[in-house]
Amino acid sequence: MFQKILIANRGEIACRVAATARRLGIQTVAVYSDADANAKHVLACDEAVHIGASAPQDSYLRWECILQAAQDTGAQAVHPGYGFLSENEDFAKACAAAGLVFIGPSPSAIQAMGLKAESKQLMEKAGVPLVPGYHGADQDPALLQREADRIGYPVLIKASAGGGGKGMRAVEKAADFAEALASCKREATHSFGSDAVLIEKYVQRPRHIEIQVFGDTHGHCVYLFERDCSVQRRHQKVLEEAPAPGMTEALRAQMGAAAVAAAQAVNYVGAGTVEFIVEQASYDQPEAMKFFFMEMNTRLQVEHPVTEAITGLDLVEWQLRVASGEPLPLRQDQLRIQGHAIEARICAENPDNNFLPATGTLQVYRKPACTSFAVAAGAVRVDDGVREGDTISPYYDSMVAKLIVHGDTRAQALARLDAALAQTHIVGLATNVQFLRQVVRSPSFANAQLDTALIPREAAVLFHQEPVGAVRALAAVVAHTLHAERGLAGTDPFSQRDGWQAYGVRSRAFTCALGEQTHHAQLSYLHDGGLHLRVSPASASPATNAPSDADVSGLLQFSAQGEAGQAAEAGLWVSFHGQRTHSVLHWQGDVAHVFAPEGATSITWSDPLAHAGEVEVKGGRLTAPMPGKVVSFAVKVGDVVKAGQTLAVMEAMKMEHTIAAPQDGTVQELLYAAGDQVAEGAELLKLD
């Protein structure tokens, strides 16, 4: 076994590898960029070496610096994690040339499986089922158009060297093919250095099911069952689970055998994943499912923890043992499935705004009670590479953490995941935590009616949801405010903040904004010491006016004690209008972030006079929705455009984002050029 390894990656996967290495008594070396100088993964390792500036091409993709760091620190092997250099055959060769063990497959296996077109030809020879398509070397756009027409729409254009949803476009009709091809090639060139694409039939009602395989240098190869990764947005995974719901033993054996055949075709060594597209006639006929080879990822996958949870194995430990020359720890007949596991990817993004990536500081980052990197059954596990106070920057991908749960059954795992998500509190930037809870609760996911179109199919219950509700959220904020005021009161009667006065009833008015609506409330301090709250709907008059039939009113009570008189972990129990619930508040300036069992929301306490005289400006300006680079402009000065027409393309966090015209108009001025870096909110062009 190795004595010291270098981890050529960052974030949660670097922390993950370091945890297993520490358990095995292996020393670790971290590498870091300027942006990651104080990152969690740096402190997780025994040593750390600075390798360059913040951008990946100036640090984590500079393998000469990484190899030098390994040699300078006496590392014997390099673990590439996933992403960055993990599937780079030249880097694997360079490791060998430098006398270092690359903890992964051979360069020839990476090369064989790295190009989608060539790998499909190889799989065809190995007898692995393929989706109808074009995988040829001729990349003439006219030929590609004819091939798409021949295959029949819808088709999928995929970067031959791609992965992670980048360089991929679904095309519904022939008229849209040319524009989609150009965008796909441009993104492929930027991400992978090659614009070669392949075209495949777009399978209807498809499920994305992948098989974890492992090979060693002694000729052994096994599969560690399957993962269902069908829930996706922008062709990137959102939720992954193992085993796949509805999977029959016969189909599992067929897919496992096909995956092993695929791995053996390239003499595969180490951890790999063979991904299949599965076509299903209906959701309740698993025996009729057909599977087709899609690609092989020659590395450890982001979703490997669910496989660890159902097998009780540490896949990173297997990687280290195989790379050091040991045989696989178990035979195929010794592997068993135990229970059900689900992983949720927590990302810094705004699902209600087309999953736009977000940047910012984790001002609040609270996790459920968990055991990091645990593989035991029944565990709640959080894999992350950040801490409270860290910044999510535009230089790397938007994933904050992975939340993994295990249960005896899928239903138990679902309940455990929802509860763990409810205990995940993040303030400081937009995240998809509440969206994940909506997905988990959606009819399709709860009933295992899975396919890659689940998110658009369930859009009505997934997006623009307000799970807490204005009345309960406002009552919670009022209660927390009063509780904080009482905590500031002195011991003498004159400093008490209980609203007592010698005559009459004292009242306080509150105004707040929830989303686009303004709500009003009036709190009355009763003579018996009680509190009465009246909440007026957004369309009603302010609370200081006469009550209306639409108002919600009643006694407001709150306590920091639980049902049995035990102190709550945090927050208050609030009773109002016939409901009693527990809530936790985190303040960010004038914004109160309310976390309750049913969900989370944000309320802005506003002064109506502060906005007097403001005039809303519509149209005319188009600004960058996030920090990034201008890829191209689709218009020039003087062009007449229609609402919704593409005006520009930006790239940030490894994804392209289209800027569309908010209304009809004429392009007055382009304020940047293609290739320029822009800040969030920067005006890109002007419309007349």
CA distance 171 to 302: 28
Name residue 28's beta-bridge partners. Answer: 5
C-beta of residue 29 within 8 angstroms of C-beta of residue 73: yes
C-beta of residue 320 within 8 angstroms of C-beta of residue 2: yes
Token couple for 260: 């092993």
DSSP letter (8 states) at residue 198: E
C-beta of residue 58 within 8 angstroms of C-beta of residue 33: yes
List the catalytic residue out of 62, 169, 207, 299.
Answer: 299
Q: Annotated catalytic, 227?
A: no
* Pairing of β 4-7 and β 77-79: parallel
C-beta of residue 117 within 8 angstroms of C-beta of residue 157: no
C-beta of residue 306 within 8 angstroms of C-beta of residue 243: no
Q: Residues with Cβ < 8 Å from 297, sequence gap 6 or more?
A: 87, 113, 163, 272, 273, 275
Give the burial string for 366-389 (b: 16+ CB within 10 Å, else e): ebbebeebbbebebbbbbbbbeee
Length of the chain as a residue count:
688
* SS3 assignment for 551-570: CEEEEEEEECECCCCCECCC
Full DSSP string of 129-186 = -B-SEE--S---HHHHHHHHHHH-SSEEEEEEEEETTEEEEEE-SGGGHHHHHHHHHH
CA distance 454 to 252: 23
CA distance 131 to 146: 18
Q: Residues with Cβ < 8 Å from 148, sequence gap 6 or more?
A: 134, 155, 157, 171, 174, 177, 199
**CA separation, residue 252 to residues 209, 210, 286, 300 (Å):** 10, 11, 11, 21
CA distance 373 to 303: 13
CA distance 359 to 347: 10
The interaxial angle of helices 89-97 and 107-114, nearest 10 deg, is: 170
Token couple for 66: 């990484």
Token couple for 229: 């990764």
Strands lying side by side in the sheet with 340-347: 290-297, 270-279, 206-215, 221-233, 236-242, 340-347, 399-407, 380-384
Name which of 239, 404, 381 is nearest 306 in CA terms.
404
C-beta of residue 376 within 8 angstroms of C-beta of residue 312: yes
Name residue 277's beta-bridge partners. Answer: 208, 292
Q: Which residues are annotated as catalytic?
A: 299
